Every structure is written in C-alpha cells, then in structure tokens.
Amino acid sequence: MFVLGPNRYGKAETRVVRVTKHGDAHHIKDLNVSTALSGDMTEVHLSGDNGAVLPTDTQKNTVYAFAKKHGVGAAEDFALLLARHFVDSQPAVRHARVAIEEYAWERRGGQSFVRSGRETRTCVAHYDGERSWVVSGLTDLVVLNTTNSEFWGFARDEYTTLQETHDRILATAVTATWRHSGLSDWDKSYEKARQALLAAFADTYSLSLQQTLYAMGSRVLTDCPEICEVRLALPNKHHFLVDLSPFGLENDGEVFYAADRPYGLIEGTVAREDAPPAGPAWE
C-alpha cells in the first residue's frame, strides 16, 4: 500500500507589469508571481479526476485580472489578496502560497524609466482559510567593504592551505528573509530592514562573515520592532590578491581577482527570544 504525501500545484513565474497613470506621471510595478495551491487533491493523483483542480492557466489569468481590478501596491498586499481569493473561492483548496519577486525601476521622466541596479525584493504570503502569514525579504543585495575584515585563528587539519589574513576585502550578495509579528506597513518596513542590513554590514569590524551575519540580523530586529525573526544567506564573494611580482610590481592591497566559485556560504537565523514558532511561515 502507498499513501499520498503532502502535495501542491500552481503556476510558477507569471510576469506582470502594472502601469498606473496619474496624468503625465506614470508608476510601474514589475512582478514575478508564483502561486501554489493545496487541499483535497487526492483523486487527481490517484485516478486523474480533475474536478478539484483549478487550472494553473486560471491562476495565471487571475494574477493579470487582479492587477487590473485591484491595482498593485505593496507586493505583500497583492500576494495576500491572491492567496485569500484562491482559498475562499475554491472549496477544494485549503491553503494557498503566493511568492513574489519585485524588480525596481527608477524614474527618468514622467513616463520614462531605467531598470534599477538594486536588489530584488521578495515576499511569500500564506493563507489557510483562517490565518494568514507573510515573510518579506530581498535577494542579490551586493555589498563590499574594502577593509575592516580579518580571518584568522581558524581550525586546521592536514588539508588546510588557507593563510590567515588581518586585512581583506569582505563582499557578499545578501539574501535575507524576515518574519513579521503581524501585518505591517510593508513598504516602510522593507526600507527600514534594508537600511539596517546595510548599516550593520558597513559598521561591523568583521572577524568572520558569521559575526557580520549576526550583526546584520540583530540590527534588523533592533530597528524594526514589527519583525520577529531574520534568516540570512551570505555567500562569501572572495577577492584574492593578484601576484604582480613576475612583473616587478608590488601589490599592497590594490589589485584583486574576484572569484565567482567555489565560494563559502554562510547561513543563519537571528530571532527574538519571545518570537512565536515559525510553523509553515518559511515554506
């Protein structure tokens, strides 16, 4: 005998660009939306009966229709709106997960924009018919300190060749997600959390990337009381001094080779002592 385990289905990466026009001043919201639904889906798996299945094409169309009907404000609000619609309108659906990536554009005139080089804003909203919960975040926030970073005193074995350093470049591409204690002013909260991450990275004299991770998570919790937990993934974007001695040149920490792989990957969570259990919020 076999038993069907947890399952879900949906439409991944629906790209929608919503233009809002206020006279000659236009505004853009550029989103990548992924929906996933779960519930009473046993028969479609066991017998192929599609009676409980809302087509993924319908989910895609709903994203476009809601962008027109309701507009797009904060990504978190749009994700919650979609999640509640799918659960409340479909008897077989018990849980909806809506994940959004948002791409920033910078205004260059009333109707002219340039794609921003900023990070990608992210959010994941869940709704189960009674409760809703949201995780916000960002990815590809690339930061670099040219000094104030060391790495020494580490464990060694017979395969260790890395030399200790008391002055190095520290660079990473931050992926951060944070869990809210409740509903929030999403845009304001996002900017506060982003600034906290940047400030902590810049202000921390780093003896390890782990130390920097903890400082960044702690700063977010200090500056953002509405956030109860932060998860961070920091790839160490290594910069190695180039040996210029064959050319009769000294390299006093001025010329580096930026290696893309392999790289160290440092991950961790910083939470308030009284943070409620995460449950399925991070899924």
pTM of the model: 0.94
Active-site position among 26, 56, 58, 146 = 56
Question: Are 143 and 204 within 8 A, CB to CB?
Answer: no
Catalytic site includes residue 192: no
Question: Are 134 and 79 within 8 A, CB to CB?
Answer: yes
Same fold, 8-130 and 137-283: yes
Active-site position among 11, 29, 95, 237 = 11
| Positive or negative: CA dihedral 61, 62, 65, 68 | negative
Report the CATH number of the 8-130 domain: 3.10.270.10
Nearest to 174 by CA among 138, 221, 124, 206: 138
Q: Per-residue confidence of the chain (283 residues) as pLDDT tens digits?
A: 899 999 999 999 999 999 999 888 899 999 999 999 999 999 999 999 999 999 999 999 999 999 999 999 999 999 999 999 999 999 999 999 999 999 999 988 888 999 888 999 999 999 999 999 999 999 999 999 999 999 999 999 999 999 999 999 999 999 999 999 876 799 999 999 999 999 999 999 999 999 999 999 999 999 999 999 999 999 999 999 999 999 999 999 999 999 999 999 999 999 999 988 876 666 7
Indicate the domain borders of the chain. Answer: 8-130, 137-283
Active-site position among 29, 60, 126, 238 = 238
β partners of residue 44:
none
Pairing of strands 113-115, 120-127: unpaired
Element (H, E) at 226: none
Does the 137-283 domain belong in CATH 3.10.270.10? yes
Catalytic site includes residue 11: yes
Catalytic site includes residue 175: no
